[in-house]
A and B are shown apart, each in its own frame.
Chain A
Amino acid sequence: MSAESSLRLVEPAMGTVFSFDVRTPATDEIHAALTSAVAWLHHVDALFSTYRPGSQISRLGRGELTVGECAPEVREVLDRCRELSEETGGRFSSTPAGRLDPSGLVKGWAVERASDLLYEAGALDHCVNGGGDVQTRGEAAPGRPWRIGLAHPADHEAVAAVVEGRDLAVATSGTAERGAHITDPRTGRPASALLSLTLVGRRLATVDALATAVFAMGEEAEDWLRSRPGLHAYAVTADHRVWSTPGFPFAAPLGAPCHAV
């Protein structure tokens, strides 16, 4: 599909901006799904925002609600958080600063679900980007996979690499914008070994949550990733070196960095 026939929408929510880019020719069903997807994001924000004292997650954290009294999505998210915490040896936490805050999972999970809504309505080729965390489905154009630039951690105008593929989830954690805000839940100290960490997999909820956890792992990340063949990682270290796992889906020829030693 050419860009002219694509359906685009930019929606501020959850303190960031969501971009929808549907390349399947738009139908009434797809338009309706896009409306539902936007409503879904605001619904998630209302349930899970830690900035809203009246959100279910805030009230749950203060003990004013039980999980049973919350929407089923709350239990789903908290269950996923528990699994992710176990998978990462506690590097992922739903209480990163000592209080209930599953934000490390919620955005990616919300984007993945929004993408599913579009897909189920027949939008087989689309991309949803939630504040830099990306879920793509299908292709950007017939025979041409999606290309996702990885933001350069020190230059807003440049990208450091380009990822290419079909049905990819891409999430980046880093210090570029908000400083050293990711703490290692196991030590309570800010994670500082990496400037940014990009994970690529298939489904954004897991990929986004794990990107935060792997970022917090710092130098231990490489070992942990060896046991996760379905995940690819690209990391920029504090001294502006880069490492990537074997098989990282760089777009040829730009991303292939073998010459840039």
Chain B
Amino acid sequence: MRRALITTGTTLAGIVLLLSLKPHESTLHNASAPLSTGDVPGPETRASQPAGPTATSGNGTFIGDAVQTEFGTVQVRITVRDGALAKVDVLRYPDEDRKSVAISRFALPRLTERTMAAGNAQIDTLSGATYTSEGYRRSLQSALDQAGVR
């Protein structure tokens, strides 16, 4: 098992570099038991849960810590067979995190002609809820059109 750990440790170091992980966080915590397939832990899960008897055989599946990188969370799973690294699966890619980038929320701004002038944001046209012909007459779009046609 020691050899297995060294092997996986070395390989992981390579992965770690590739993925810009923090090395001290990506070490495997006391290599443990094969995890049931499909058992993908959340970001807080450490790799040390299900205990198992495989330490002597050098076989098993191990999940590294979820690591925060500047691109998002990365987490890998390795499979060791006969003391050698057989497979590496990346369980979490940064892209998954990007998709969940929070929608931003804020108070409703009110930009008047003056604030827009101050911000140097002359507008060319206006998008608003469908206006009737009457609504158009009262709209800023009507004013913009008059200014342009004049």
Residues of B within 8 A of A156 (CB): 138-140
Query: Quick check: is B112 within 8 A (CB to CB) of the other chain?
Result: yes
Stretch at the interface among B13-21, B32-40, B85-93, B116-124: B116-124
In the complex, number of A-B residue pairs with CB atoms less than 8 Å apart: 181
Chain A CB count within 10 A is highest, among B113, B131, B139, B140, for B131
CA distance A84 to B149 in the complex (A): 37
Which of these, B106, B110, B125, B131, contacts A17 with CB under 8 Å? B131
Of residues 76 through 130 on chain B, the ones whose CB sits less than 8 Å from some CB of chain A are: 99-113, 115-116, 119, 121-130
Of residues 244 through 260 on chain A, the ones whose CB sits less than 8 Å from some CB of chain B are: 244-246, 251, 253-255, 257-258, 260
Cβ of B127 and Cβ of A171 under 8 Å apart? yes
Number of residues from B at the complex interface, CB < 8 A: 42
Number of residues from A at the complex interface, CB < 8 A: 65
Query: Quick check: is A167 within 8 A (CB to CB) of the other chain?
Result: no
CA distance A161 to B126 in the complex (A): 10
* Whole-angstrom distance between the Cβ of B117 and the nearest chain A Cβ: 10
Which of chain A's residues has its CB closest to B100's CB?
A: A226
Cβ of B109 and Cβ of A160 under 8 Å apart? yes
CA distance A178 to B133 in the complex (A): 12
Cβ of B123 and Cβ of A177 under 8 Å apart? no
Residues on A facing B (Cβ under 8 Å): 3, 6, 8, 10, 12, 15-17, 19, 21, 107, 127, 129, 131-134, 136, 140, 146-153, 155-163, 170-178, 196, 198, 222, 226, 236, 240-246, 251, 253-255, 257-258, 260-261
- Ordered by A's residue number, 9 sampled pairs between the chains whose C-beta atoms are within 8 Å are A129-B126, A136-B124, A136-B125, A140-B124, A151-B129, A173-B130, A178-B129, A246-B101, A253-B119
Residues on B facing A (Cβ under 8 Å): 99-113, 115-116, 119, 121-133, 135-136, 138-142, 144-145, 148-149
